[in-house]
Amino acid sequence: MSSFLKSFFSLSILLISATASALPITYIYQGFDASGDLNGVSFINTDFSIVAQADTDNFKDWCCSEGQISHLSATIHIDGFDIVQLLTPSHIWYTGGSVVGFGKDLGANWMTFNHVDFIGYDLMSSIGPIFGNVVNVNQFHGVMTSAGILNFTNSELNASFEAVVSEVPEPAGLMLIITGLIGILIRSKRV
């Protein structure tokens, strides 16, 4: 058997046996009519959106909830300001009831979402958007960003939450693509 075919079969077995359990997930938090300041510059009744990237494989137990996932990165866009990076580490947590929260990683809670649609949510699947009231926003203060310190002054506001899982090709699908490409390559060498 040629070394090419041996390599192909070895790669095939490796790809078929591989599993793709961890998935990238994006959490989108949006707030409406928020007030506060970014690096001393005030904003009043302004909309904002936070986009946080995470990995479903990072799900962990946490003392005060059913679990949490630390964000790999997070940005915030406040109307009238540039998009800035949150430098203070953040995470999402779930109580096991109808409450999902966003806050300082394993620390202070910045926003608490309470909605019946969260009942049974596992933090690792797509959901939403879900619209409702968010409380504890005034705890969102002293947060380091790439543009300075961010503080919200609202104690509650209208908001939405959405989670979107990014699907990655399964090993079998990847194997099918590779097999097709190799077939085309072999056929083109014969012609």
Cα Rg, the chain, nearest whole Å: 22
Tell me the pLDDT tens digit for each residue of 24-62: 999 999 999 999 999 999 999 999 999 999 999 999 887
φ, ψ of residue 95 to 5 degrees: the values are -85, -15
Residue 153 and residue 36 in contact, taking contact as beta carbons nearer than 8 Å? yes
Asked whether residue 180 carries a pLDDT value surpassing 70, the answer given is: no
Position 139 confidence tier, pLDDT thresholds 50, 70, 90 = confident
φ, ψ of residue 190 to 5 degrees: the values are -75, -30
Q: Where are the domains of the chain?
A: 23-170
Asked whether residue 82 carries a pLDDT value surpassing 90, the answer given is: yes
- How far apart, in whole angstroms, are the C-alpha atoms of residue 136 and residue 116? 18
Asked whether residue 191 carries a pLDDT value surpassing 80, the answer given is: no
Higher pLDDT, 177 or 31: 31
90: part of which helix (H) or strand (E)? strand 90-94
- Quickly count: other Cβ atoms within 10 Å of residue 14's Cβ: 11
Asked whether residue 88 carries a pLDDT value surpassing 80, the answer given is: yes
Residue 170's pLDDT is: 56
Residue type, 34: A
- How far apart, in whole angstroms, are the C-alpha atoms of residue 169 and residue 176? 11
Instruction: Give the lowest-confidence range in 66-70, 84-88, 123-127, 169-173.
Output: 169-173
In this prediction, what percent of the chain has a pLDDT beyond 90? 55
For β-strands 90-94 and 84-85, DSSP reports them as: unpaired
Residue 38's pLDDT is: 97
Residue 174's pLDDT is: 59
